[in-house]
Structure 1
């Protein structure tokens, strides 16, 4: 199941994943030099505790020294430099000679957001009040991003100050940074000011030291002292150089995009899974269709879905075509047009990734120091500009959030169609596998609509809500970090929906495979021409018995799938009733003189055999084993199904008999019983915070998959 050169989005997703694995396994290290930071490195530092280091390249150190010296030389001419001997923003018409105090003024007015006492007391939030501080992973990502941007040597920040940033990571010191209060105009001034305050040793800037149960919150001054680190004094432009940039926005956006890329790939796997659950006609994935409309993303999505379906025994339209038959001939839009639906957004996500990777290795400060000597002078020059304006991050995030909304809308439709009896091609309403009335997936149907409504509300562009700020100096501003935060919410919602989808699809494909097994078994009994055969006793020859069986089976199959509003038991009388007319007509056509009493005996025998066969194969008796189901699935969905059934040990849900409260009420064991939400939660955790996607990506990368042997014997 390896990828091809025609799958740029998949290849980009795998590239990030491979690099992240190498970093986590210490096969590669993160060396900061201003030019080579990538999304995988941000994820590795932010989420996995990988420690970066500053390059020991002498030329890099020299460039940083030149930057500091160029600014010093420039100032010696009594030139005006914004933020160094002027006020800030709309107050830039003021002047000062106290350049070191000015940097503290900058931190003072930007360290103005809200952090509560509950935020600082890690063990006291039993009421689960919403946090007012950023997750530590965001802050770690911002630290490494800012160190890398400043290492480009355009900001007049000394290497020892940048080393102080990296030292925080090496000592597990994470500044507490307020969640709200930045408009990402002059960069993310407020968030970075708390990080700068931490390395400066501000006694009223707080940091988290350590992780997990051992984590403590201390004033920055105490944490530095305890760790043997010295506070960094800040030179004439160093506070400005540290905080006047896009690092928090691009760091959070990088984490978001990493998750979004994986979810976009997962959505294609889930689409293949849906097609199998529905027993679809997947000729819509044929390359010819997409070559005639050659959008890159559309071609890739179709190619991926077709590859994920490879080997499936549950769909038509792969190796062979279905050219005759009854029923809905085309699959519905949520699967049939999925390449056209997903495709454009794969292209958008690739552009967003490019934008963020460029930004990670860009100078986003102001003013900028050019160390190239000016004509007729020995020093460099200083330019005021607007590289801190983070609209490139806003653009990437608004695109990503819209892509997530479109993916979520497709997943919502697929799940709705799987649960609904009028659209799921013969599966029980609410995917009820029980022999009694149950509402198994009805709650998930409602959940999905709730998630989708929230996701749709988030899709609105953040960029259209810009408000002028700071004496109207920041008349336009990017709101990049807000956009990244909203997109992270969208990621979480799509993860919720994907977890629901996997749970529903695993249930649906079990039911589908079990129905097929039952019908196949009953068909063999129907064709039996011996005295044990169902049609024995009608007085037919072997040839006539075979002919009648062949004519009856389509009637049995179509009737069985048609009566799907309630339980599998409720289908049986409908099938019995449906076969009586064609049996009677067949007997009449073949001059069989058959009494009404004999027909009644046949009807009773037919019903008895049909019921007995069904009882043996449907819940509450053992249904089709997962190890048998997985052999019928395509290469992609087999991995998802195996993960749910074999790795997470999530069983087919049998309705009220699997409810923990019902079992407790009946005095039955509850150890293996969970609410539906608890089962879905296991998938969600494994998807977003576990190693499920790593296994899936490894399968894509190497062609390996989870085989049927991964199921315990007899499972």
Structure 2
């Protein structure tokens, strides 16, 4: 398995094992992974804290080391000093100081509508983080604090994990952190929850039964007690990168899969356009041996294996007319995607290290003999997460830009190699996929605007103490938006490609039938009225068929009906030339009869195969597709029951006005929405990754 595909598959398999309870999530400060964050955040998997005595002892030593420092009346930042730019103040009220910390950081906006979603009929945007982000932050912070450098007691960390076990999710404002001294504001609401702050609210439960209530009430209902916070425990809980790294893990997991999907969609696009895919040959990429480029080309070849719609891999195209090499959006896809596969792997590594790092300040370095030290530093500076997210977001933008170009080319009659404009399969003018073309541009414009690095927009903060700050959570939030946009674009690509490849298959079936009739020397053949013998029929047919094919594909600006007269007219001159060259006598009436007969053949063959007649079956199409696109196409046609869209007659309003049934009629938006919902929530990516894991479908 290639590096990026292998990493993506390993994350997915780990998650499946966690969901199926084949593995447990045991927090020990050193072994938390991205799959575990996803399992807790999205799939209700419950973590536990290790029972390893060494971990408990390390936590105890860190608490005792801090107590020893205070007994010596040493100055410890955030324990007996003020915070940030106010660290020149001193206090002996060390417990109240921790409440001071929570008091000034619990300062962001949560609205009444956020606390009562049922009353938000106007659908005002949420001001709070999605619960999955919060659950991820809780498990990440517990794990980081378990490393024993934060002077946080085991019982306090158990209180964090207890929230997960009782489905208590603190409501955290979406905005207000610059991820400088870690994500102080978001974590302060989590710390306020376990401390029992009456004005910190939590969501209890999920779905229709979810309630938003004050934290003390939720703790009491669950049989939990508020945690008192020791001399550094509020600071130890909130002064860290957990919200940023958790959100980063969630979006990176999706981005890795979208990157893999984009390679499958590139193969699909090539099939839609009947491409010459020799650009995927191993030799080309071995000659420029970047790891990501080689992997992308290898995957695309794997996904194209068995395809009857492309040339250049299992068969070579040596002669012919038309555009000889594919356009950049497919031909240079390995070179376009490849560098970003490498970036995504680096981003994954950065997040995995951060999950098992100590990211607060000050840090306690305890020793079993006593006399440990406390150091002030800057491990809370979450630039490593910003770096991972900015890279991931740029990768998503580059992937989206490629998908945008591919979809535009598939829909456009001047670039799609002979398919009808707007992918209209009907017998009269329709604008079928034109709206998708516009939507893709809207998505792409928004995605491009998000691609700018968040790290370039740092503002000095907090009395200029936080003169540089990471903006990591903002970068993660923007990357979440970018991933969602690429999911939108991928859904459009899949829907359009299923439409296009089905039309391509139908055209190939039609042209094959015409070729058979041209080569038929019997009285039912297309050339019967010319008085030719069998060898002459064969010779003339070989001359005519390429012309029939190129003419048919050339006149694609309107409907399939508009192609027929052009195709018939195109053969008259070469037939006449052939007869004259070979000095074959043929009367004018015979030529007229030939043209009329050939016109009848073209018309009857087309009318039997193109809408509104039954078109080619999905099973026939799937059998001709490559190993990758066959999965996607079959999933859309069989799993989602989304058929070929045939224009106005598939529109629900049109049918309603005609007094026709509307039960199976949907807007194009509803169809694309079904694909979008199916990508992650409906199991499509699980299907793709399962095939990659088992080799099923990838011979």
Q: Decide: shared fold, TM above 0.5.
A: yes
- Quote the residue 1:310 is aligned against: 305
**Aligned-partner Cα distance in 1 for 2:620–2:668:** 24
Does structure 2 conserve the Cα–Cα contact (< 8 Å) formed by 1:355 and 1:393?
Answer: yes
CA distance in 1, matches of 2:259, 2:204: 35
Paired residue for 2:85?
90
Take 2:38 and 2:585, find their aligned partners in 1: how far apart are those partners? 79
Structure 1 unpaired stretches of 5+:
708-715
Q: How does 1:367-386 map to 2 (within 5 A)?
A: 367-372=362-367, 378-386=370-378
- Identify which of 622, 629, 646 aligns with 1:630: 622
Counterpart residue number, 1:678: 670
- Partner Cα distance (2:645, 2:370) in 1: 78
Q: Tell me the secondary structure at the aligned position of residue 484 of structure 2.
A: helix
- Equivalent in 464, 486, 498 of residue 494 of structure 1: 486
Q: Is the 8 A contact 1:642 1:706 kept in 2?
A: no
**In the alignment, structure 1 residue 233 sits paired with structure 2 residue 228:** yes
Aligned residue in 2 for 1:426:
418
Structure 2 residue 560 is matched with structure 1 residue 568: yes
Give the SS at the match of 2:97. helix
**Residue pair 2:106, 2:188 contacting (<8 A) in 1 also:** yes
Secondary structure of 1:218's aligned partner:
strand
Which residue matches 2:193?
A: 198
The answer for the alignment partner of 2:507 in structure 1 is 515
Pairwise CA RMSD: 1.0
The 5-angstrom pairing of residues 695-706 of structure 1 reads 695-705=687-697
SS at 1:154's partner residue? coil
Equivalent-residue separation in structure 2 for 1:96 and 1:594 (angstroms): 113
Deviations 1:522-542 (A, max 9, x none): 111111111111111211111
Q: Which residue, 43, 46, 62 being the options, matches 1:48?
A: 43
Q: Is 1:591 equivalent to 2:591 in the alignment?
A: no
Task: Tell me what 1:484 maps to.
Answer: 476
Q: Secondary structure at the match of 2:547?
A: helix
Residue 299 (1) aligns with residue 294 (2) = yes
Matching residue of 2:604: 612
Q: CA deviation at 1:545?
A: 1.3
CA distance in 1, matches of 2:658, 2:323: 44
Where does 1:459-470 land on structure 2 (aligned, <5 Å)? 459-470=451-462
Question: Which piece of structure 1 moves more, 471-480 or 584-593?
Answer: 584-593
1:153 aligns with 2:148: yes
**Helix, strand or coil: the match of 1:42?**
helix
Tell me by how many angstroms 1:706 deviates: 10
Could you say which residue in structure 1 is the equivalent of 2:355? 360
Match of residue 115 from structure 1: 110
| TM-score normalised by structure 1 residue count | 0.97
Please say which of residues 298-307 and 584-593 is displaced more in the overlay.
584-593
1:20 corresponds to 2:15: yes
Q: Is the 8 A contact 2:302 2:698 kept in 1?
A: no
- Tell me by how many angstroms 1:383 deviates: 0.1
Report the secondary structure of 1:123's partner residue.
helix
From 174, 179, 185, the counterpart of 1:184: 179
Aligned to 2:169, the other structure's residue is in SS state: strand
Q: Report deviation, 1:94.
A: 0.4
Distance 1:203 1:234 in 2: 16
Displacement of 1:318 in angstroms is: 1.0
Distance 2:698 2:227 in 1: 52
Is 1:163 the counterpart of 2:158? The answer is yes
Match of 1:410 in 2: 402
Q: Secondary structure at the match of 2:119?
A: coil
1:122/1:216 contact within 8 Å kept: no
1:546 maps to 2:538: yes
Deviating above 4 A after TM superposition, structure 1's stretches of 4 or more consecutive aligned residues are: none
Match of 1:529 in 2: 521
Which sits farther off after the overlay, 506-515 or 364-373? 364-373
- What is the TM-score of this pair, normalised by structure 2? 0.99
1:598 Cα deviation after fit: 2.6
Give SS of 1:313's match: coil
**Aligned partners of 2:582 and 2:290: how far apart in 1?**
59
8 A contact 1:502–1:640 mirrored in 2: yes
Q: d(CA) in 1 for partners of 2:660 and 2:577?
A: 51
Structure 1 Cα separation of the partners of residues 553 and 19 of structure 2: 50
The Cα shift of 1:594 comes to 2.6
**Aligned partners of 1:372 and 1:379 also within 8 Å:** yes
Q: Which among 53, 74, 97 is matched to residue 102 of structure 1?
A: 97
Given that residues 529 and 591 in structure 2 are in contact (C-alpha distance below 8 angstroms), is that contact kept between their aligned partners in structure 1? no
Partner residue, 1:577: 569
Distance 1:357 1:378 in 2: 32
The whole-number CA distance in structure 2 between the counterparts of 1:295 and 1:706 is 24
Contact 2:303 2:698 in 1 (8 A): no
Separation of aligned partners in 1, 2:103 and 2:524: 91
Report the Cα distance in structure 1 between the residues aligned to 2:415 and 2:388, rounded to whole angstroms: 36
**Once the two structures are superposed, what CA deviation does each residue of 1:658-709 show, in whole Å capped at 9, x if it has no partner?**
11111111111111110001000000000032211001000011011399xx
What's the counterpart of residue 38 of structure 1?
33
SS at match of 1:570: helix
1:558 paired residue number = 550
Contact 2:420 2:559 in 1 (8 A): yes
Q: For 2:585 and 2:319, locate their aligned partners in 1 and report how far apart those are by CA, in whole Å.
A: 35
Please say if residues 173 and 208 of structure 1, whose CA atoms lie closer than 8 Å, have aligned partners that are also in contact. Answer: yes
Q: Does 1:661 align with 2:653?
A: yes
